[in-house]
Structure 1
């Protein structure tokens, strides 16, 4: 949150989409399998066109957040300084609407032939960085600003926008701390309706209080 109490502008999108075949080089295709990002470790940066000298956010300080949903590797990037504000302005001008990823050692893949073409299937990916760029190989990997509505963005990335917002709700739910399950003992020594069932032996111990000599429970 900024000093004036406002949430920072954000760049959102998909760094990569899973389950789609796309051409990478010399007639070879690539496909990222769902779950390929589940074993990610180490920091990941957000850059421009895979240029290590132009980094705008990273997972280490929370300015870049990544998660995998039903469509691919989703991200959210905070715009916190002049450099990232410039990047956001270029996104809004449709200069950088595509996204791409840079893999590092430890990524795993297999080769197969499907429908007469060679396909490199990525089973496990370790990321070094994600990038915003003019164009990318992975279809559906795109970005937009959080202040842009569905009708504001190019028609070609509206499916990604819808997928991202659906997946974001699941992401927030997964991040939310689970509420502890409480037990309320009724006057009759039975759990109240709708609460967790407790064996009668445990209820008896709870009603009896701490053993003699204990000042407080758990001490």
Structure 2
């Protein structure tokens, strides 16, 4: 927390919202861990009010869960959560693939290919898990951006934080970056050929592999 400084023009509760989200994503707080509102307020040198407002926003995102003691804990995903998140995500991103094939121009397709090359270079250079997670997110985000459908983008933004939470957990395990890159390349090759059915099949297979792997990670976490 030492490198966190308040930006006065931005409301305090929003600054705490983004900072706490960052701490959840980087593992400072662990899934299931209870958050001490008073301790956080003391650490940041502020009253409890903006901390409480930030927590309410994080609860709406699904990253915090209220408990019966009038407090909050970091969300701890279950297999049921994964199923529910992916049931929302899959049809939206399959639609994004269709729209990219219809609407993306050659320059946008080149941007997707460059992103895959960046990912491959990052793997080769031993990039850290946080960078790999961001690169994974970037591929999917570009597909959504190049769908040129702002309503689709807005719908996905409502669950993007939980999807990102899933991505962080999904990188656990041997050879996950290579596996994900290989599946992304398969999707892209069909997008480049403007082959909707094949692209959607590869995307669906990618999602199935992701969700099953994530459920295994969650199950192993319960056993440890």
State TM-score, norm by structure 1. 0.23
Larger radius of gyration: 1
- Structure with the higher fraction of residues in strand conformation: 1
State TM-score, norm by structure 2. 0.22
